[in-house]
């Protein structure tokens, strides 16, 4: 979405002196803006995922490999539900 399209959807609130005090943004546009702010354009990961320490990522991967090696697997739907609790 280009800036001109964004600007055409935004409304400004002014006070009695005509000074701009607030901005009204349609919910759909707001969600798009927040989504673009919270994710990395290169990796597509959310900001919080980009900030996770590499040691923690490695530990999680090692645990996943260990679980798979002993046959401890989970349906994708269960993993999805588990991840939703942390969003």
Alpha-carbon distance of 3 to 44, in angstroms, equals: 22
- pLDDT, tens only, 14-31: 999 999 999 999 999 988
Strand-pair partners of 14: 20
Alpha-carbon distance of 76 to 59, in angstroms, equals: 20
Alpha carbon of 26 to those of 8, 32, 33, 45, 77: distances in Å? 11, 10, 11, 25, 32
pLDDT at 83 (0 to 100)? 53
pLDDT at 39 (0 to 100)? 67
Q: What letter does residue 46 receive in the DSSP assignment?
A: B
Of all residues in the chain, the percent with pLDDT exceeding 70 is 74
Alpha-carbon distance of 4 to 81, in angstroms, equals: 39
């Amino acid at each position: 979405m280009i800036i001109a399209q964004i600007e055409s959807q935004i409304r400004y609130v002014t006070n009695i002196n005509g000074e701009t005090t607030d901005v009204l943004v349609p919910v759909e546009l707001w969600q798009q803006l927040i989504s673009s702010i919270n994710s990395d354009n290169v990796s597509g990961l959310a900001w919080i995922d980009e900030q996770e320490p590499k040691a923690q990522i490695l530990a999680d991967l090692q645990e996943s490999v260990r679980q798979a090696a002993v046959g401890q697997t989970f349906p994708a739907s269960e993993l999805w539900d588990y991840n939703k609790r942390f969003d």
